[in-house]
Structure formats: C-alpha cells, structure tokens
Amino acid sequence: MRLRRFKESLFRFLMIASLSLVVTAFVAILATIVVKGASAMNLAMLLETPKGGYYLGKGGGIANAIAGTLYLGLGASLLSLLVGLPAALALQKEYARPWLSRFSRLVLDILWGTPSIVYGAFGFVVMVRFGIRASMLGGILALSLVMLPIMVRSMGEVIRAVPQELKESAYALGTTQTEVTLAVVLRQAVPGILTAILLAFGRGVGDAAALLFTAGYTDYMPGSLLDPVASLPLAIFFQIATPVPEVQARAYAAALILLAIVLAINLASRLLGRRFSRHVIQ
C-alpha cells in the first residue's frame, strides 16, 4: 500500500513537473522576446525604412518589413479564400461523393503537413519556369500554398457540422443548392470560417521558409506585385545573422512586432468567433 501511494505521488510529481516545464518554456519565450525586443524598440523602428548604413547600425527602421508582411499576409489570405472557401463547401455531400470528399481530406492532411520549405522550393521552380523573379506575387503564391490546407481543413470541419435537417428544411422550401449554401450553410458557419481565416493568416504571417526564395527582400516599401518585398520573419532571420550588435538588437524588436501581430490575430479570432455566433442555430 505504501508503495502504491508512493507511486501515485511520484507520478503526480512527474506530471506537474512536465506541465510546469511546458509553461516555463512558454513564459521564457515571451519574456525573452518582450524584454529583448522592448529595449531595442523605438518609434523609428515602426515608422521608417532602412536608411544608408542601416546594416552597420545606423538609423532607420523596419516599416518596409511590417508593411510587406501585412501585404503578403492579406494577399495570400485573399487568394486562399477565393479557392479555399468553395473547396471547403465542396466537401459537403451535395457536391462531392463520399469517396471524393474523404480522399480530398486526406490530400489536405498531407498538404497541411508538408513543410513550408517544400512549398518555397516548389514556388521557386514554378516562378523560374514562368520567368517571375523573387517578388510579392511569388511570395503571395507560395504563402497561399501554405495557408490553403489550413484554411480548407478547418473550414471544412465547421461546414460539415451544419446540421443536415437545417439544410433539408431549406430545400423543402424549394431553394437551390447555391441558395442553401449562401443563406444557410455560410451563415451557420461564419464564426468557424472567420477563425479559419485568422488561423491561416497567423500561420502565413509568421512563415519564413516559404518566402526565402519567392518573395526576396528589399529596403523599400512594398511597391508593385512584381517587385521584391520585405517581410518580418526574413527581417528577423537576416538581421540576427549579422555580426553587428545594433542590427541584432533590431531583430529582437522585429520579433516583438511579429509576436504582437500573431498574438493579436490569435486574440481576435477568439473574440470574433464569439461575436459572430449570434446567428448560429444550435
């Protein structure tokens, strides 16, 4: 009996220790980035583009990367939404036979798991084939490959969860599939769809590997679709690799900005999900 009691408390101790390890890691990451980032943060970082000698520690900021990341994230979200929302709707049984929908969901699982560096390399090959150089367009295309599976998989779940009876009662009134989809299914699934978009946006905004060869990097604000564009993840990646301490410090500031954006999106998705669930019939 003593032994069993001892085992119970040992087990409990190990579990609490593991969980504290996870929480500690979380706190350590946040604390490191916030402390290091805040000490390097100033208004110029947010509002200015790199000036001459920036990479030797002289003045300027990373407004180009902040704007670039938002452009890339929004562009890729829009593009993925254009294909992703209909694709998620197609997973319903009105549109795809069960085998096709099951098969597609497996394909999506594989695509979701595919490392973003593979999308980056693939995007690069395709761009070379069509003569596009590293540009915002390339970055948006590569990022939407990363975002699409995330979006469709999570949208598909909520759309498939819309009760069949609800749709059938609409069909009984003589509506077409499209009308049911727009008026019933989409309205029911709005909170889930918003969450899916924000989830994918948050993932895309932070992705560096897919942008490495496709988006390029520039010290200027984002211009046309065919020009290279800066991004926060790459700004962090490049600046931390320089030997100049002042420039490294800016990587910390950039990381803090990126972290703030990602956390804000995370928070927004939770709040929006709740805000828009009024129309949902349980």
Stretch that binds other proteins, among 7-15, 55-63, 70-78, 185-193 (CB under 8 A): 7-15
Segment contacting other proteins (CB under 8 A): 70-78, 164-172, 249-257, 272-280?
249-257
d(CA 31, CA 63): 24
Q: Given the complex with other proteins, which of 44 and 262 has the nearer CB atom? A: 262
Question: With binding defined as CB under 8 A, does residue 47 bind other proteins?
Answer: no
Among 18, 39, 164, 169, contact with other proteins (rule: CB under 8 A): 18
The dihedrals phi and psi of 174, each to the nearest 5 degrees, come to 90, 20
Subset of 62-121 contacting other proteins (CB under 8 A): 83-87, 89-91, 95-96, 100, 103-104, 106-118, 120-121
* Position 33 contacts other proteins (CB under 8 A): yes
Nearer to other proteins (CB atom), residue 52 or residue 103 = 103
Decide whether 197 or 212 has the Cβ nearer to other proteins.
212
Nearest approach, Cβ of 244 to other proteins (angstroms)? 15
Classify residue 57 by burial, with Cβ atoms within 10 Å: 0-12, 13-18, 19+. Answer: middle
- Hey, which residues between 117 and 156 contact other proteins (CB under 8 A)? 117-118, 120-122, 124-126, 145, 148, 152
Rounded least distance, CB 231 to other proteins, Å: 10
Q: In the window 205-244, what residues touch other proteins (CB under 8 A)?
A: 205-209, 212-213, 233, 236-237, 240
